[in-house]
Amino acid sequence: MIEVSDLRKRYGKAAAVNGLSFRIADGRITGFLGPNGAGKTTTLRILLGLVRPTAGTATIDGRTYRELEDPIRRVGAVLEASNYHPNRSGRSHLRVLCTAAGLPRTRADEALEFVGMENAGGRAVGGYSLGMRQRLSVAGALLGDPDLLVLDEPANGLDPEGIRWLRDFLRAFAAGGKTVFVSSHVLAEVEQIADDVVIIHRGRLVARESVADLRARTVGLTRVRSPDAARLRDALASAGIEATVDGERVSTSAPAARVGEVAAANGVVLHELTAESPSLEEAFLALTAGETGL
């Protein structure tokens, strides 16, 4: 289990993380979201022992990363896709990691096959696309067959096929009882794969809950199509409901059932009445006051 407790990190006068606390249960996929500068990468780097906190703790099963025994077999991480020698092949890169970690060199080929790069393993990393380097990073994270994956923007540079591969891989990884903690700008992908989300803003926790619960407490839209849209808008206004009109279409945050009742009471014909559930993106923007820079 990941536990972050009153975590703080200051760089001079700037607070990158400011009293952040949350827990992540094992065996689930948790999305880590926040606008640019919210403190996501700093938190991940502290969790992985790359940055020392000013105060507070970030632990894995009650221990800091530096205290873990044989951490490569406990945690696999991808924070960036640029830490390679450009003239070294992908296979050689992974074999060096295996040797450093005391793992059999055969794990390099197994990991390359797992990420679909067995045919590119002999090529120099300098000739890889960004998406291929991302896959190689994931392969490196899997060498120790870890129980926990910590990923920072793993979809960066992936084409649609690569994104689908990543989605299927993460689902399969978690289905085996393992844990994924993933930071991503691609909210539509997070919505498809994540069980839970942790949302932070200005270094503080905004939400920690399941995707379903987060969407349920976010107001959605009711969309209506009517040949008498203006009269429906006026009827809704009389009932204390705000609505906007665009031609024959009416939009409001009121529940669909209530809109239908008002329309029926006023004899307004409806050609369409649709309740739209809020997306994860809409919930995110509502919680971070509409700041769009992820």
φ/ψ (deg, to 5) at 133: -65, -35
Mode of pairing for the β-strands spanning 221-225 and 204-210:
unpaired
Identify whether residues 173 and 244 lie together within a single domain: no
As a whole number, the mean pLDDT across the chain is 91
Q: 18: which 2 tokens?
A: 């400011």
**∠ Cα 238 242 246 (to 5°):** 110
pLDDT at 279: 80
Which CATH number do you get for residue 170? 3.40.50.300
Q: Considering the chain, what percentage of its residues have pLDDT values greater than 90?
A: 70
CATH of the domain at 260: 3.30.70
Tokens 């649709």 belong to 274
Q: In angstroms, what is the C-alpha Rg of the chain?
A: 24
Same domain, 209 and 156: yes
State the angle between helix axes of 130-142 and 160-175 in degrees (0 to 180), rounded to the nearest 10: 10
Same domain, 186 and 252: no
Q: Please identify, among 193, 216, 239, the residue that sits at the C-terminal boundary of a domain.
A: 216
Looking at residue 193, its pLDDT comes to 92
Tell whether 195 and 242 lie within a shared domain: no
DSSP 124: B
**pLDDT at position 290 over 70:** no
Please report which confidence band the pLDDT of residue 217 belongs to, taking 50, 70 and 90 as the band edges.
Answer: confident
Whole-angstrom distance, CA of residue 187 vs CA of residue 192 = 9
Same domain, 161 and 259: no
In a shared domain, residues 35 and 69: yes
Grouping H, G, I as helix, E, B as strand and the rest as coil, residue 44 is helix
Amino acid found at 63: R
Provide the pLDDT for residue 219: 66
User: Do both 185 and 232 map to the same domain?
Assistant: no
Total count of domains within the chain: 2
> What is the band of 292 on the pLDDT scale with cuts at 50, 70, 90?
very low
Residue 31 maps to a domain: yes
Question: Residues 226, 119: one domain?
Answer: no
Digit-coded pLDDT (tens) for 74-100: 999 998 756 788 899 999 999 999 999
Cα separation, 167 vs 188, whole angstroms:
11
Last residue of a domain, one of 176, 197, 216: 216
Looking at the fold, whether 226 and 203 belong to one and the same domain comes out as no
Question: Do residue 211 and residue 228 come from a single domain?
Answer: no
Do 105 and 250 fall into the same domain? Answer: no
* 243/196 same-domain check: no
Nearest to 221 by CA among 168, 277, 269, 281: 277
Kindly tell me if the per-residue pLDDT of 29 is higher than 70: yes
Enclosing domain of residue 105: 2-216
